[in-house]
């Protein structure tokens, strides 16, 4: 929560009554100039924009008066954020100037996060107010204050291999999310693997040893993360094809997908439906209409509509080279069903798995069933299924 200033009595006044004699004349004039309610209110408004409820809830943050004076002191003596924290922490005059006194000095990371909140608009208002105060007190004659702002401090990191890889993952994740793909945020997991590599790099570990360490780290990842490059490229291509099919062209029509008819089955399986997630279904949820069924079946054309016991279902038989491959595919579909919270009927035979989707609560077909059908097609591509003719040649029933 944003606060304007600390309300505790000054520790310097209690322990050092004559501390005012230690003040520098420049600091004394700046202190009198910054002791302005309008300036503090403007900084408090800028800090309140960090979060929507910063004015009413949350733990107390660094006061606006403290932030303003710390940044002025940092600029006055050309300190870094770390130097500013260290100097203010160990100096009674600087504590009194920054209105910190006996409170805890904000660390450098806090200042780094708060400084960008004072953007161009805030600085313009602050400078305008300072010019007005200067004219009122007879310090300046002009109407404007000209300053040299050719150098702007910013946060950058050295472009090592590991940080460039982390940046690439972050950009790809952001791009796929903009395309509507359900991609998990991997920033924290990448950071956990990136930090040890950077520490070894800072300790002078040779490049060969660093690469070997990186290889061992990647080999230690769980099996679900260790996917072949071809599968990752196929998934990314599918998302791009699906997004291109959804985006209208300049004439108002649909942008044709790159080779939708002649596209390989791996890319076609990664359809728009496969990028969606199942939603919670209730007993009063509507069933899909005939028009919706016709539209959805364009993305899952190999699935057949069956009706058993008066209930419409989606069904498809997948063929595999042997029983082990069929059983592995069954386990993949089961894991997918647990992940999405929607479960099918599975019949596993020698070199063949029959999957049937329908929604039990509404006794019919829901959009979730077509989503799971598309996701099942994607799992079949990953499991290495074969065609019906190939299965017959291998002796499948």
pLDDT in tens, 148-173: 666 666 666 666 777 777 788 888 88
Determine the Cα–Cα distance for residues 161 and 167; give it in Å rounded to an integer: 10
* pLDDT at residue 27, as a whole number: 86
* pLDDT at residue 226, as a whole number: 39
Please, what's the largest Cα pairwise distance for the chain?
100
Residue of higher predicted confidence among 180 and 242: 180
Supply 367's token pair.
């959009």
The lowest-confidence range among 86-100, 183-197, 254-268, 362-376 is: 254-268
Looking at residues 225-241, what average pLDDT do you find? Answer: 47
Number of H helices, E strands in the chain: 17, 4
CB 83, CB 63: distance < 8 Å:
no
Looking at residues 276-280, what average pLDDT do you find? Answer: 84
Residue of higher predicted confidence among 91 and 11: 91
Contacts made by residues 105-109, CB under 8 angstroms, sequence distance 24+: 106/62, 106/66, 106/67, 106/70, 108/80, 108/81, 108/82, 108/84, 109/81
* pLDDT at residue 126, as a whole number: 87
Residue of higher predicted confidence among 3 and 47: 47
Average pLDDT, whole number, for the chain? 75
* pLDDT at residue 34, as a whole number: 87
pLDDT at 319 over 70: yes
Tens-digit pLDDT profile for residues 364-373: 999 999 999 9
In three-state secondary structure terms, 98 is coil
Q: pLDDT band for 333, please (50, 70, 90 cuts).
A: very high
Of residues 104, 107, 130, 102, the one with CA closest to residue 39: 130
pLDDT at 257 over 70: no
Of residues 383, 372, 373, the one with CA closest to residue 326: 383
């Amino acid at each position: 929560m944003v606060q304007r200033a600390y309300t505790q009595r000054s520790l310097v006044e209690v322990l050092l009554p004559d501390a005012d004699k230690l003040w520098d004349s420049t600091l004394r004039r700046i202190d009198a100039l910054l002791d302005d309610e309008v300036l503090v209110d403007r900084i408090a408004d800028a800090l309140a924009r960090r979060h929507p409820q910063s004015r009413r809830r949350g733990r107390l943050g660094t006061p606006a008066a403290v932030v303003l004076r710390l940044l002025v002191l940092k600029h006055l003596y050309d300190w870094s954020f770390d130097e500013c924290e260290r100097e203010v922490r160990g100096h009674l005059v600087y504590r009194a100037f920054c209105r910190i006194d006996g409170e805890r000095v904000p660390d450098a990371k806090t200042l780094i996060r708060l400084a960008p909140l004072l953007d161009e608009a805030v600085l313009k208002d602050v400078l305008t107010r300072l010019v007005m105060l200067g004219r009122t007190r007879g310090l300046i004659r002009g109407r404007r204050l000209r300053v040299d702002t050719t150098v702007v401090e910013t946060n950058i990191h050295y472009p090592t291999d590991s940080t460039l890889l982390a940046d690439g993952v972050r950009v790809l994740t952001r791009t796929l999310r903009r395309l509507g793909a359900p991609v998990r945020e991997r920033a924290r997991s990448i950071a956990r693997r990136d930090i040890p590599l950077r520490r070894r790099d800072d300790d002078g570990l040779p490049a060969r040893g660093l690469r070997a360490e990186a290889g061992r780290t990647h080999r230690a990842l769980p099996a679900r993360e260790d996917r072949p490059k071809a599968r990752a490229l196929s998934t990314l291509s599918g998302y791009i094809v699906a997004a291109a099919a959804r985006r209208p062209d300049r004439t108002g029509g649909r942008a044709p997908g790159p080779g939708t008819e002649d596209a390989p089955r791996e890319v076609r399986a990664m359809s728009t439906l496969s990028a969606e997630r199942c939603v919670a279904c209730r007993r009063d949820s509507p069933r899909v209409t005939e028009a919706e069924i016709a539209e959805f079946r364009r993305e899952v054309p190999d699935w057949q509509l069956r009706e058993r016991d008066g209930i419409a279902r989606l069904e498809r038989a997948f063929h595999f080279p042997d029983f082990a491959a069929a059983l592995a595919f069954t386990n993949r579909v089961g894991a997918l069903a647990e992940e999405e919270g929607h479960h099918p009927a599975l019949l596993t035979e020698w070199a063949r798995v029959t999957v049937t989707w329908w929604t039990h609560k509404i006794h019919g077909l829901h959009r979730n069933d077509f989503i799971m059908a598309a996701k099942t097609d994607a799992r079949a591509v990953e499991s290495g299924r074969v065609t019906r003719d190939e299965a017959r040649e291998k002796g499948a029933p």
